[in-house]
Structure formats: structure tokens, C-alpha cells
């Protein structure tokens, strides 16, 4: 076994909130396996995704870049995430995690949701992944009743998407798969991948569909859930992680495998269309929800587990998912491309416990391509707020100026604006915001951003599937109107 070439498994959940795991304070969801992994690994309290919604969060993580840098902003007129048949996707000019691991001759696999472009030009095999079993889009983008419920209007039925494709590499192997069993099938494919690649170094990116709605979960996980289908989905994530841990142990790979567990953005808990009673997610002590640049939308659980190499510890140092790409590169001994600027910082010494402090001490909160807030050290300044999207919606409609300063150490819930009492800190953070805008631009401020690169684009895009009333789909249409 080549100890200089550790295996890496990156587990990314979908919409799992900061407060959804037992080890992050959940009293409702049962996560004994993740809690144990957390107790025996590195737990971060201040870990950020690059965006508070799927597509830019994932694109930013895979490339080590703030989403505007890779052209992930507004896709077309309105879309803040990619939809089936979009002309946009992750440019193959960008260096992804898959490509970085390929440089070191790793086997690279993706199991689960991609969501950074569904056209053939943008699929995982074009981005350094040898193997892929999963969904090109989010699972609420299949044939499913979609009722938009807003407190201020009557329910509106939204148009159907084309049938949800399940892919094996670049081929569609099923349409409208049974969502209730999909996580088990993903887990089984992940085990097969590990088994096949056990004699060579591998990178596995496992991108779950839980706990994004609609939630379909096997009865087995629902039986003793204290949080409805939501708690059952979290339990299934815990179970799936347990299967991977056991598989590594059986193949004698556990001491040579780094596992990271996180989520792409915060929970939707608190949205008006999220019903009570069926179980809801939690962003714990944090304010804000998915789509929001308050902490709850974008600060996520992060566990790094590598028995014998990472000593158990908890840290409140800053780290972001953009830092994973350069950190992995350092761990496996490859150089990143030099032509294109990235935003990630190599944090391998911090991850391994060689230093107590993280090399990152600031973060820019971009949503679509407007800068909403900056953090440096313990201080966070909100410089913009959504103008019409309101508390709940994405800020597609624009922004308004604001000036809210929070001390995230004493006030992680962002409850007390201390801007008036700290004019000097406010001034310094406005200056920092301007530095980011000069490089990455700002839609709201009409600043173009010379550091932005174009998103991938194809002229003749179309959905991968088309509804055919005579075709025997696994599920003709998903039968809940939960989405988003």
C-alpha cells in the first residue's frame, strides 16, 4: 500500500443543515455512526460552502473557486441553478477535483448527483471522473407535481420537467428511478467501486440526494424516526456512511483513506412551503436558510476522518470547500495548473493537525454574482440584502444596500447588529468587499469583475430525456408536490 497516495472519499449531502446531525446538536435525528466518526476525527464549526444553493456550491467546490470566477452566476435570465437541457455548465477549461486526482493516476468515481451541467459536454466523464452512477440534475427536476405555495397567492401548478434520468457514465440507464431506494443503490455502487479499486488509489465523490426534497425514504429508516421522513433520510445518510466505513475496514483500507462528510448548502427549514409534521431540517443556532447568505444558508457541518492520521479534535478555524482542491493536491503530491487563478488555499497542514490555525481567515459570501457579505476573522459585514426575493427567495430580483456587522464568535446567530459601535471595523470590511468586487465583480453594483471566466456554453442544448406516454417508467410521476 502506497501511503503517499491515500484514498479520498468526499461525501456531500444535499440541503443537510448545520443542526441536522447529533454531533452538531440535533436532538431529533439519530446519527450514531456520524457522531462516532466526528468524535474520532476533525470537527469544524466554521466551514463554508462557496454558495447557499446547489449548482454554484458544487461548481465552486469541484474547482476551488468562488462561483462567479467560473461563470456560475445567473444561468440565463433567471436561473440560479441549472435545469434540464440548460445551455450552461461547468467549463472543461477548469481544473476539477477529478482531473487533479487523475494527474496522480487515481481511479476517480462519482456516485450521485452532479448538477453542474447536463449536456454531454459537461458530464462527469469530461471532468476527470472515470466512473459515474447517478443523476445529472436534482431529483425534483423529474416528472413530479410541482405546486408553488406562497402565502400571498393561490397555489400555482408549475410545468413538468422531462423524466428524471439515471446515468451510468454517459448513458441513461433508467428514467424516473424509484427515489425511495436510490440512496441504497448509490451506496451499493460506491461499495462496488471501492471493491474494484481496492488495489489502486481512488477518489470517490459521493453526492447524496438526501435531504433535498421531495423526500422518499424506505420504511426501514422511517420506523423509529422522531422527525418524520426527514429524520429517516438523515438516518439513511448515517447508515450509508457506516456501510462505507465497514467496507474500508474489511479491505484493510481504513487507515489509508481520508473521508470528508459535508453538505452543499443549508436546510430549507423555515420556508413557508415546508410543512410541519413530516419532519423538517435544522440550521441549528444559525440564522437564515438555503439561498441566504446568513450563516444558516452557507455554513455547514464538516467532519474529516482518517484514523491514525487525523487526531480527534474540534476547531472553530475558518475553512471553505474551495480549499479542498488544493488541499487534496498537496496530500497526493500533484501540482495544480498555474494559468488560472483559483480561490482555494492549501490547508493540508491544518487538516492533518500540524498547525492549529487554518491558512484561511476571510470569506466572501457571493449569491448568484452579487456580493452580500464578507467575513474576516470573527467579524462579518453584510453589505447587501435581497430587495424583492424577500426572506425566503433567491436574490434573482436584485439587492439593496445594507450595513450589518456581527461578531460571529459571540453571536453566531447574527442577532445583534454592532455596526454603529464599530465604525473602524465596518470601514475595513467595506474595503475588503471592494477588493472582492474589483476581482469577481458584483451584479448589484454593476461591477464587471475582470477575474471572472466564462461558464461552459453549448449552442444546441436539449434535455437528455423526453416524456413518452407509451414508455413504462419506473415511476410515471413522483407523487408529492414537495420540491426545491
Of the two residues 269 and 336, which places its CB atom closer to Ca ion in the complex?
269
**Binder of Ca ion out of 95, 118, 264, 482 (CB under 5 A):** 264
Nearest distance from C-beta of residue 469 to Ca ion, angstroms: 31
Spot the catalytic one: 38, 65, 115, 139: 115
The CB-of-15 to Ca ion minimum distance in angstroms stands at: 4
**Which of residues 265, 282, 309, 327 is near Ca ion by CB under 5 A?**
265
125 is an active site residue:
no
* 260 DSSP β-pair partners: 10, 304
- 15 makes contact with Ca ion (CB under 5 A): yes
- Residue 76 and residue 179: Cα distance in Å, rounded? 29
Q: Where are the beta strands (DSSP E) in 306-434?
A: 313-320, 362-367, 370-376, 379-386, 399-407
**Burial (0-12, 13-18, 19+ Cβ within 10 Å), 308:** exposed
Binding segment toward Ca ion, per CB under 5 A, in 174-182, 262-270, 426-434, 462-470:
262-270
Part of the chain binding Ca ion (CB under 5 A), chosen from 73-81, 88-96, 256-264, 385-393: 256-264
In whole angstroms, the minimum distance from the beta carbon of 103 to Ca ion comes to: 29
By the 8 A CB rule, do 343 and 49 touch? no
Considering only residues 30 to 59 of the shown chain, the ones binding Ca ion according to CB under 5 A are 54
- How many whole angstroms separate alpha carbon 378 and alpha carbon 317? 10
> Is 115 in the active site?
yes
Task: Please choose, out of 174-182, 259-267, 339-347, 360-368, the segment that lies near Ca ion by the rule CB under 5 A.
Answer: 259-267
φ, ψ for residue 190, nearest 5 deg: -65, -40
Instruction: Report in angstroms how near the CB of residue 134 gets to Ca ion at its nearest.
Output: 14
Positions 59 through 118 that interact with Ca ion (CB under 5 A)? none
Stated as kind and residue range, the H or E segment containing 259 is strand 257-263
Give the β-pairing of 399-407 and 379-386: antiparallel
Cβ partners under 8 Å of residue 349, min gap 6: 355, 359
Taking the least distance from each CB to Ca ion, the nearer of 94 and 264 is 264
Q: Could you give the 3-state DSSP secondary structure of residue 234?
A: helix
State in angstroms the smallest separation of the CB of 212 from Ca ion: 5
Pick 137 or 426: Cβ nearer Ca ion? 137
Binding site for Ca ion (CB under 5 A): 14-15, 54, 264-265
Catalytic residues: 54, 115
Amino acid at each position: 500500500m502506497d501511503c503517499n497516495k491515500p484514498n479520498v472519499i468526499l461525501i456531500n449531502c444535499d440541503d443537510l443543515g448545520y443542526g441536522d446531525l447529533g454531533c452538531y446538536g440535533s436532538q431529533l435525528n439519530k446519527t450514531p455512526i456520524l457522531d462516532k466518526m466526528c468524535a474520532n476525527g476533525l470537527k469544524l464549526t466554521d466551514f463554508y460552502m462557496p454558495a447557499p444553493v446547489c449548482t454554484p456550491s458544487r461548481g465552486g467546490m469541484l474547482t476551488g473557486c468562488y462561483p462567479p470566477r467560473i461563470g456560475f452566476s445567473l444561468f440565463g435570465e433567471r436561473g440560479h441553478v441549472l435545469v434540464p437541457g440548460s445551455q450552461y455548465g461547468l467549463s472543461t477549461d477548469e481544473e476539477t477535483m477529478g482531473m487533479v486526482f487523475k494527474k496522480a493516476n487515481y481511479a476517480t468515481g462519482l456516485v450521485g448527483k452532479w448538477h453542474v451541467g447536463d449536456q454531454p459536454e459537461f458530464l462527469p466523464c469530461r471532468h476527470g471522473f472515470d466512473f459515474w452512477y447517478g443523476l445529472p440534475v436534482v431529483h425534483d427536476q423529474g416528472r413530479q407535481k410541482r405546486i408553488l405555495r406562497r402565502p400571498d397567492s393561490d397555489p400555482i401548478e408549475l410545468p413538468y420537467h422531462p423524466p428524471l434520468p439515471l446515468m451510468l457514465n454517459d448513458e441513461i440507464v433508467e428514467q424516473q428511478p424509484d427515489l425511495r431506494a436510490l440512496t441504497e443503490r448509490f451506496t451499493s455502487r460506491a461499495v462496488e467501486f471501492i471493491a474494484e479499486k481496492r488495489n489502486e488509489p481512488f477518489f470517490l465523490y459521493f453526492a447524496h440526494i438526501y435531504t433535498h426534497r421531495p423526500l422518499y425514504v424506505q420504511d426501514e429508516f422511517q420506523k423509529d424516526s422522531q422527525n418524520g421522513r426527514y429524520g429517516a433520510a438523515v438516518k439513511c445518510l448515517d447508515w450509508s456512511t457506516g456501510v462505507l466505513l465497514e467496507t474500508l475496514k474489511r479491505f484493510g483500507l481504513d487507515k489509508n483513506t481520508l473521508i470528508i462528510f459535508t453538505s452543499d448548502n443549508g436546510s430549507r427549514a423555515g420556508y413557508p412551503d415546508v410543512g410541519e409534521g413530516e419532519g423538517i431540517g435544522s440550521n441549528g443556532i444559525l440564522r437564515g436558510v438555503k439561498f441566504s447568505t446568513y450563516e444558516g444558508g452557507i455554513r455547514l457541518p464538516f467532519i474529516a476522518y482518517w484514523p491514525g492520521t487525523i487526531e480527534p479534535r474540534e476547531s472553530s478555524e475558518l475553512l471553505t470547500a474551495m480549499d479542498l482542491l488544493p488541499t487534496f493536491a498537496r496530500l497526493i503530491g500533484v501540482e495544480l495548473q498555474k494559468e488560472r487563478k483559483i480561490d482555494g488555499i492549501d490547508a493540508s497542514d491544518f487538516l492533518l493537525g500540524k498547525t492549529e490555525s487554518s491558512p484561511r481567515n476571510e470569506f466572501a459570501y457571493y449569491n448568484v454574482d452579487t456580493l452580500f457579505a464578507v467575513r474576516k476573522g470573527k467579524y462579518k459585514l453584510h453589505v447587501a440584502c435581497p430587495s424583492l426575493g424577500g426572506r425566503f427567495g433567491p436574490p434573482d430580483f436584485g439587492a439593496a444596500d445594507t450595513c450589518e456587522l456581527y461578531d460571529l464568535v459571540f453571536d453566531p446567530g447574527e442577532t445583534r447588529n454592532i455596526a454603529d459601535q464599530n465604525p473602524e471595523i465596518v470601514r475595513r470590511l467595506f474595503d475588503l468587499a471592494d477588493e472582492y468586487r474589483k476581482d469577481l465583480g458584483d451584479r448589484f453594483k454593476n461591477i464587471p469583475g475582470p477575474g471572472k471566466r466564462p461558464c461552459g456554453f453549448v449552442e444546441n442544448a436539449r434535455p437528455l430525456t423526453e416524456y413518452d406516454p407509451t414508455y413504462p417508467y419506473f415511476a410515471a410521476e413522483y407523487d408529492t408536490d414537495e420540491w426545491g
